Amino acid sequence: MKLQLVPPAEAFRASFLRALREFQHEGLPWWIGGDLELAEQDFAAFVAKKLADANRSTTTAVPKTHRWAIAEDQFVGRIAIHHALNDALRIEGGHIGYDTVPSVRGRGVATEMLRQALPVARALGLREVLLTCDDTNTASVRVIEKNGGSLRETRALAANRPPKRYYWISLLDES
Ligand SMILES: CC(C)(COP(=O)(O)OP(=O)(O)OC[C@H]1O[C@@H](n2cnc3c(N)ncnc32)[C@H](O)[C@@H]1OP(=O)(O)O)[C@@H](O)C(=O)NCCC(=O)NCCS
């Protein structure tokens, strides 16, 4: 699938809101509540907030650059790059996180999102990036490994959860 990574923009309101309903139906916790209620109520404000995340630093949040994947003018996925790690992200989250809209999974979207996000991370000054994923998340493992991820560690975080994999991708060859 041919796709472009772009900053969040109001132009993608309709397909983003359709995707939001798919994500909510799936039930991933990070697609429920919070800012997403704002997306339904005031999409312009939601987009502005996403863009402002790049300059927002709090005791719990580090600056974060969001990119949306667009194919044939439709929102098909999202990827976000943390500009630095904090203690929480070192355990879970890492520098980069992504989701593909459920109805377009298995068509190379996440692989391409991560490929295109790596030069963005490099431009932010990062020399290597941490990606964390569940040991059982076969699709994400493939996405990371196809993008040059090197498995540095697998750690059990809790008895009732799958072990977490810690991958690093070197950006020294990125332009
Ligand atoms: C993980 C996720 C982002 C993958 O997105 P995607 O766009 O479907 O990924 P791709 O199409 O680029 O596929 C990547 C690889 O995973 C494989 N794959 C895709 N879905 C799979 C599945 N359900 N089970 C096993 N492998 C799968 C693909 O075949 C491909 O491998 P290949 O190149 O060897 O054929 C997507 O499943 C998702 O959004 N999941 C929920 C959120 C999530 O887990 N985010 C990542 C957190 S670390």
What per-residue confidence (pLDDT) applies to 111?
98
Kindly give the number of the ligand 1 atom that is closest to the alpha carbon of 131: 48
Average pLDDT in the chain: 95
What per-residue confidence (pLDDT) applies to 104?
98
Kindly give the number of the ligand 1 atom that is closest to the alpha carbon of 107: 11
Environment class of 169 (CB within 10 Å of its CB; exposed 0-12, middle 13-18, buried 19+): buried
Domain boundaries, the chain: 4-170
What per-residue confidence (pLDDT) applies to 139?
98
Most ligand 1 atoms within 8 A of CB, residue of 1, 100, 112, 144 to mutate = 100
Query: Is this model's pTM higher than 0.85 or not?
Result: yes
d(C-alpha 75, C-alpha 84), whole Å: 26
Looking at domain 4-170, which CATH architecture does it have?
A: 3-Layer(aba) Sandwich (3.40)
Given a cut of 70, whether residue 174 has pLDDT beyond it is no
**Radius of gyration of the chain, Cα coordinates, nearest whole angstrom:** 16
Kindly give the number of the ligand 1 atom that is closest to the alpha carbon of 100: 39
Asked whether 109 lines ligand 1 (CB < 6 A), one says: yes
Nearest to 53 by CA among 73, 34, 76, 27: 34
| Mean pLDDT value across residues 129-141 | 98
Kind and range of the H or E element at 82?
strand 74-82
Given a cut of 90, whether residue 33 has pLDDT beyond it is no
What per-residue confidence (pLDDT) applies to 1?
83
For the four alpha carbons of 71, 112, 144 and 122, in that order, the dihedral sign comes to negative
Tens of pLDDT, residues 34-59? 888 899 999 999 999 999 999 999 98
d(C-alpha 165, C-alpha 17), whole Å: 31
